[in-house]
Amino acid sequence: MALSDRACKAAAAGEKIKKLSDGGGLQLWIMPNGSKLWRLAYRMDGKQKLFAIGPYPAVSLAQARSARDDAKQSIRDGIDPISARRQAAIPTPTAPTFGAVAAELIEKHRREGRKASTLERKEWLLRVANGALKDRELASITAGEILEVCRKEEAKGHFETASRLRSLIGEVFRYAIASQIVETDPTQALRGALTAPKEKHFAAATTWKDFAGVIRAVDGYEGQPGTRVALLLMAYLFPRPGEIRAARWSEFDLDRATWTIPAERMKMGREHKRHLARPALDLLEELLEISSGAGLVFPGLRSPTRPMSENTLNAALRRLGFTKAEMTSHGFRSTASSLINEDGQ
């Protein structure tokens, strides 16, 4: 039975190679890593042979059929398509471009359920790379050309972006290696060629005395009750600011003293449970008395459907007298790291 483009797209990987037949010897191989490869099975001189046409969707169903027909005509003429390709008598059909393989990689990540924020970041970086590389045949791209793309970001002072760009381009090449499109990853030659981004350190209290001062100040905060509770919970639980700001009442089980943060809000994409000590429970119960107990725990002032902003937390710290160099909302995690390490835990 002939294949359709919908069937090609929907074909899912398994533990072993799957082979879907389109007729005339044309097959779509679904590899265990998720890549899809066109192959033509044929006999010549009494031997069973296999001709590699290219990856799907970089090589479409229509293009694969055209390549099959051309190869079978060569066979009828007594010409082995594999030998002909090696001798460059006929060109390799549809050489995959950087843009096509990169798009295939992003689609693979989407099928794997990667976080929306991760996909957006990768797609943004690929738009930067595609400016120079999108229509280039992947196998023809050199390390020097990739370095030139990255150095344009480096010249703007965007060292972190340049580093991430090199890493993502390398990811495209490694995916292409696994898909048998190319044999090498030119980004490996660029290790150490770019300016290393400076490690970011968030201002934080790093001694028990300073931390106690922060707790006392926040506990006496006279602004919005939700802001005070959010800052104190950050001091007690050390979550990322985004985790606490977007927290929903449905995530908390006060009877069992647990907070379950769903996978989509965690940096590593895995659900995480936190134990709630008595001080944290008291704060949540205090806030519950003046809250609906549904939706966001810390809604913004302008809309109950949007979480409070990180600026709200930092502004509260400024009003309490802490400068940007002394304490930030991100700094609570740095405080935890410093004090726990100091105690040898």
For the cut 70, the answer to whether the pLDDT of residue 322 exceeds it is yes
What are 28-65's pLDDT values in tens digits? Answer: 999 988 899 999 999 988 889 999 898 998 899 999 99
Distance CA 7, CA 22 (A): 11
- The confidence band for 91, taking pLDDT boundaries of 50, 70 and 90, is very low
Distance CA 113, CA 55 (A): 22
What are 250-268's pLDDT values in tens digits? Answer: 988 989 999 898 877 776 6
What are 213-242's pLDDT values in tens digits? Answer: 777 877 788 788 888 888 888 878 888 878
**CATH assignment of 5-86, among 3.40.1160.10, 1.10.357.10, 3.30.160.390, 2.40.160.10:** 3.30.160.390
Q: Is residue 243 within 8 Å of 266, Cβ to Cβ?
A: yes
Residue 28's DSSP bridge partners are: 20, 38
Q: Residue written as tokens 């007594």? A: 78
Q: Is residue 93 within 8 Å of 53, Cβ to Cβ?
A: yes
Distance CA 234, CA 225 (A): 14
Class in CATH terms, 208-342: mainly alpha
- The confidence band for 340, taking pLDDT boundaries of 50, 70 and 90, is low
Phi/psi at 19 (5° precision): -125, 120
Q: Print the SS3 string covering the chain.
A: CCCCHHHHHHCCCCCCCEEEEEECCEEEEECCCCCEEEEEEEEECCEEEEEEEEEECCCCHHHHHHHHHHHHHHHHCCCCHHHHHHCCCCCCCCCCEHHHHHHHHHHHHHHCCCCHHHHHHHHHHHHHHHHHHCCCEHHHCCHHHHHHHHHHHHHCCCHHHHHHHHHHHHHHHHHHHHCCCCCCCHHHHHCCCCCCCCCCCCCCCCCHHHHHHHHHHHHCCCCCHHHHHHHHHHHHHCCCHHHHHCCEHHHEECCCCEEEECHHHCCCCCCEEEECCHHHHHHHHHHHCCCCCCCECCECCCCCCCECCHHHHHHHHHHCCCCCCCCCCCHHHHHHHHHHHHCCC
Domain 98-190 has CATH 1.10.150.130: yes
The pLDDT value recorded for residue 326 is 65
Distance CA 332, CA 153 (A): 31
Distance CA 66, CA 93 (A): 9
What are 124-162's pLDDT values in tens digits? Answer: 999 999 988 999 999 889 999 999 999 998 888 888 888
Distance CA 328, CA 318 (A): 9
Query: For all residues of the chain together, what is the average pLDDT?
Result: 83
Q: Cβ neighbours of residue 51 under 8 Å, at least 6 residues apart? A: 39, 40, 41, 42, 71, 81, 82
Q: Is residue 289 within 8 Å of 232, Cβ to Cβ?
A: no
The pLDDT value recorded for residue 56 is 92
Domain ranges of the chain: 5-86, 98-190, 208-342
The pLDDT value recorded for residue 234 is 81
- The confidence band for 209, taking pLDDT boundaries of 50, 70 and 90, is low
What are 256-301's pLDDT values in tens digits? Answer: 999 898 877 776 667 888 888 898 888 888 888 888 777 888 888 7
Total-model pTM:
0.42
